[in-house]
Amino acid sequence: MKKIAILGITGSIGISTIEVIRLHPNDFKIVLATSNNNYSKLFELAVEFNIPELVITNSALQQKITDIPKNSDLTFGENELQRKIESVDSDIVLNAISGSAGLRSSITTISKGADLALANKESLVMAGHKIMKMLEHSNTNLIPVDSEHSAILQAIGNSTPDEVLSIILTASGGPFRDLPMSEFKNITVEETLKHPTWNMGAKITIDSATMMNKGLEIIEAHWLFHKSYDDIKAIIHPQSIVHSFVEFVDGSIVAQLSFPTMQIPILYALTHPHHIKSTIPKTNIIDLPNLNFYELAIERYPLYDIAVNAGMEGGILPTVLNSSNETAIDLFLNKKICFTHISRIVEKQISKFHNFQDPSIEEIIKINKDVYIQTKQDYKSLI
Ligand code: NDP
Ligand code: MG
């Protein structure tokens, strides 16, 4: 039985992981679970799965919470989260925290040497150079949870990077794929939160609508699969059935397919390198809709291009990209800015920044915070 720590258990990936574990009660034991605010869901799961260790990262809740599940030990705060990742005996840590807040937990997991099932793509976006270096000297296996990267991992199998000619990520195109660009400025928060094929947390749903998500995934693929940016591209595939393609140097192309459910890549991340028997609903090829593939119209998605360029520049720029984007999304969700302002804010913040290479984790965390504060303060002058 594998001992699993689930960070961000109350989110969309966390709950999909719970659904997978319910189907496989004899394969996995949850030894640590965390949330940021949602303690009632955390406690409900702690009772159902008899989870011994819980962390709530928002320490302001410490005064408020009294009724703790009787078989669980509960602690509060970000530092305590790192201490528990380090001290609780786990085989694999699933990092499903959203946004830049997930970075420290990825680093702690690798330092400890447990396997890391990584949904938190922002860790690799901000600190891919450091994470890949750390992995060279660690016992950690890093296994992506993101459906595209899970597909690429499966398609590559045991082939070396030299055998791979190119990686082609698929993107649904989001809810505004066919909307005339002249109407982009009127897009509402509610419309943006309705993704056509996936049901996800708010931040990644907005990133999918702006296509920032695919830009972040290109950066993620660059680090995970050791390919240059010139060899990775994204195409539109509205049905979200083919999760990505790998093209080999001999002309062969391998794809991975399934109906869009995160349960399959989550289960594979927890059982890699093996596929285990599961009752997750199967994909019947005969029932598949027609599959379409289109070039990605860059002019519709400025953030895709901005993200890929920031990835190519490297250094601290991907952190500035990620932080200004996270802040702009907060502002959009709070209806302080409109949809088209998100890309404008990110573009302006990146163009102002003096890049430098090989930032340390401490520099990344500091600049991430500085950019957040500064973007929040000055956003009116950036739109
Ligand atoms: P959600 O917003 O649904 O969930 C986020 C989780 O992280 C919640 O448990 C939340 O706790 C916790 N959390 C939020 N802020 C903090 C913080 N500051 N410190 C610690 N914990 C925090 O996100 P998703 O599940 O959609 O996404 C999680 C990650 O997985 C993201 O990086 C996303 O890009 C990636 N991903 C998601 C996919 C999906 O289908 N959803 C697909 C592929 C990748 P609380 O509930 O208490 O607020
Ligand atoms: Mg994805």
- Ligand 1 in reach of 120 Cβ (< 6 A): yes
- Ligand 1 in reach of 221 Cβ (< 6 A): no
Q: What are the pLDDT digits (tens) for 286-330? A: 999 999 999 999 999 999 999 999 999 999 999 999 999 999 999
Q: What are the pLDDT digits (tens) for 334-356? A: 999 999 999 999 999 999 999 99
Q: What is the CATH number of domain 149-260+282-382?
A: 1.10.1740.10
- Ligand 1 in reach of 325 Cβ (< 6 A): no
Which letter, b or e, does each residue of 282-293 get, where b requires 16 or more Cβ atoms within 10 Å of its Cβ? eeeeeeeeeeee
Amino acid at 319: T
- Ligand 1 in reach of 150 Cβ (< 6 A): no
Q: Atom of ligand 1 at shortest distance to CA of 39?
A: 47
Q: What are phi and psi of 130, to 5 degrees?
A: -75, -45
Distance CA 212, CA 38 (A): 27
Nearest ligand to the CA atom of 118: 1
- Ligand 1 in reach of 14 Cβ (< 6 A): yes
- Ligand 1 in reach of 201 Cβ (< 6 A): yes
Nearest ligand to the CA atom of 147: 2
Give the other-Cβ count within 10 Å of 87's Cβ: 11
The percentage of residues in the chain with a pLDDT greater than 70, rounded to a whole number, is 100
* CA-nearest residue, atom 16 of ligand 1: 36
pLDDT band of 66, cuts 50, 70, 90? confident
Q: Atom of ligand 1 at shortest distance to CA of 36?
A: 47
196 against 24, higher pLDDT: 24
Question: In the sheet where 28-35 sits, what is the strand order?
Answer: 73-76, 53-56, 28-35, 2-7, 92-95, 115-118, 142-144
* CA-nearest residue, atom 30 of ligand 1: 119
Q: Atom of ligand 1 at shortest distance to CA of 9?
A: 9
pLDDT at 141: 98
- Ligand 1 in reach of 106 Cβ (< 6 A): no
- pTM for this prediction: 0.98
Q: What are the pLDDT digits (tens) for 119-155? A: 999 999 999 999 999 999 999 999 999 999 999 999 9
CATH architecture of residue range(s) 2-144: 3-Layer(aba) Sandwich (3.40)
Domain ranges of the chain: 2-144, 149-260+282-382
Q: What are the pLDDT digits (tens) for 148-176? A: 999 999 999 999 999 999 999 999 999 99
